Amino acid sequence: MTRFWTGLAALLLAGATMAAPAAAASDDTAAIKAVLATYKTALERRDLTGVDALFAERNEVIESGKVEGSYADYVTHHIGPELGHIQRFTFDDYAVTVEQAGDIAWATETYRYTIVLPDRADPIVRQGVATTVLERREGAWKIRAMHSSSRAPKPAAP
C-alpha cells in the first residue's frame, strides 16, 4: 500500500510540475503574438519605422519562393519600395497558432490580404500563409526567420 501512495504522490507531483510551464508558455504566446501583430500592423500602416527591432541580429526573410536575405535587405530591395506604391494594405481572416520549445518558437499565420494600387482599378487579393521562427534572447522574442507565400484565392464553390 505504501508503494501505491508513493506512486500516486509521484504522479501528482509530476503532473503539477508539467502544469507549471503551461502558464509561462501562455504568457510567451501573448508576447510572440504581439511581435507578429506589430509587424502586421506596420505593413497595414505602410510604415516600417522601428520594425527592424522585431528581428534578431541574424535573420532571414523568404517570400514566395525567393530568399530575400536579411530583413534589412528585404526592406531595402523589396517590401520598402513596394509599400511606397501601395495606397492601402489590409489583412482579413487572420489566424495565428504558436508552438514553443524553450527559447525557440514558431508561428503559423493564415490570412487574406488586399492591396490597393493608385494606378490599378481592381485591388490585388491574395490568400497568404507565413511561418515565422522566433528566438527569446534576454527576455525578448525576436524574429529569426520568416517565410511567407501567397496565391490568388480559389473561387467560392457554386
Question: pLDDT digit string (tens) for 41-56?
Answer: 999 999 999 999 999 9
- Split into its structural domains, the chain has a count of 1
C-alpha cell at 111: 490570412
The span from the CA of 121 to the CA of 139, in Å, is 46
Question: pLDDT digit string (tens) for 9-20?
Answer: 333 333 333 444
Judge whether 60 lies within some domain: yes
Helix residue ranges per DSSP H, the chain: 2-45, 71-74, 80-83
CATH number assigned to the domain comprising residue 60: 3.10.450.50
Confidence of residue 126 (pLDDT cuts 50, 70, 90): very high
Question: What pTM did the predictor assign?
Answer: 0.81
Judge whether 156 lies within some domain: no
The span from the CA of 55 to the CA of 75, in Å, is 12
Range of 9's domain? 2-151
φ, ψ for residue 122 (rounded to 5)? -95, 140
